[in-house]
Amino acid sequence: MVNAESVVSAESVDPCPVVLLASGAGTLAQSVIDAAGESDSPYRIIALVSDRECEAVAHAGRVGLPTVVVRPADHPDRAAWDRELTRVVREFAPDWVVSAGFMRILGGTFLGEFPGRVINTHPALLPAFPGAHAVRDALAYGVTVTGCTVHLVDSGVDTGPVIAQRAVDVLADDSEATLHERIKIVERELLVDVLSAAASGRLHIEGRKVHRS
């Protein structure tokens, strides 16, 4: 006979609470939400927060997630918007925050509230091609390999510690749209993989180095 007091079942461990930030079509956010629906997922999405009405907000609403829109235009300056965004996300009490296509730079108040707990994706192999036009810049530079990066967010633009990267070949006839679409496929898989590791306590941060156990 198994002594029940000596066994901790998988069902007794609550999934890690995660808040998503998203601004656009929501394909990244949707992949994270869909993966959270798996019975063995180590995380659960507790809310989606955006800076605008968008498809990401609509999809989250359709699957029953709380959504909040914090519009920059509703606040006197960027600092005030950042404080309100911080307040809104804080109320959900997430262990991790995931920027899944969120097209705003997070300020010091927000990052100070969730230090080392904000994850972002970028469609290039950082530190190459940071910024909003990474795929276009990679094509213009003439690289034959690019890819995607999942990293922790710091106060810079795409400068936080790298957690994981995957390469994507650039084809001779690629346009920005075709290359970006292939990167997105890899990016969605990598983000779910990294978030699952984070939610399971398998990320170990040492300065700029992030190890997964």
**Cα gap 102→85, rounded to integer Å:** 12
Collect the ranges in the chain with pLDDT lower than 50. Answer: 1-12
**Cα gap 110→83, rounded to integer Å:** 7
- DSSP secondary structure string, 173-195? T--HHHHHHHHHHHHHHHHHHHH
**Set 122, 151, 180, 211: catalytic member:** 122
State which H helix or E strand residue 135 sits in: helix 134-141
Residue 121 lies in a domain: yes
**105: CB partners within 8 A, 6+ apart:** 157
Per-residue pLDDT, 197: 97
Whole-structure pTM over 0.85, yes or no?
yes
Residue 132 class from Cβ within 10 Å (0-12 exposed, 13-18 middle, 19+ buried)?
exposed
Per-residue pLDDT, 157: 93
**Cα gap 130→134, rounded to integer Å:** 6
Per-residue pLDDT, 6: 32
Which CATH number characterizes residue 192's domain? 3.40.50.170
Per-residue pLDDT, 126: 98
**Cα gap 195→70, rounded to integer Å:** 24
Residue 205 lies in a domain: yes
Domain count, the chain: 1
Active site residue 133: no
Residue 21 lies in a domain: yes
Residue 4 lies in a domain: no
**152: CB partners within 8 A, 6+ apart:** 116, 118, 119, 120, 160, 161, 163, 205, 210
- DSSP secondary structure string, 64-79? T--EEE--GGGSSSHH
Per-residue pLDDT, 181: 97
Residue 164, domain extent: 14-212
Q: Residue 61: name the closest of 97, 30, 104 by CA.
A: 30
Q: Do the strands 16-21 and 96-99 form a parallel or antiparallel pair, or are they unpaired?
A: parallel
Q: Residue 118: name the closest of 107, 132, 128, 129 by CA.
A: 107
Per-residue pLDDT, 3: 37
> Cα Rg for the chain, rounded, in angstroms?
18
Residue 6 lies in a domain: no
Per-residue pLDDT, 1: 33
Residue 109 lies in a domain: yes
Residue 5 lies in a domain: no
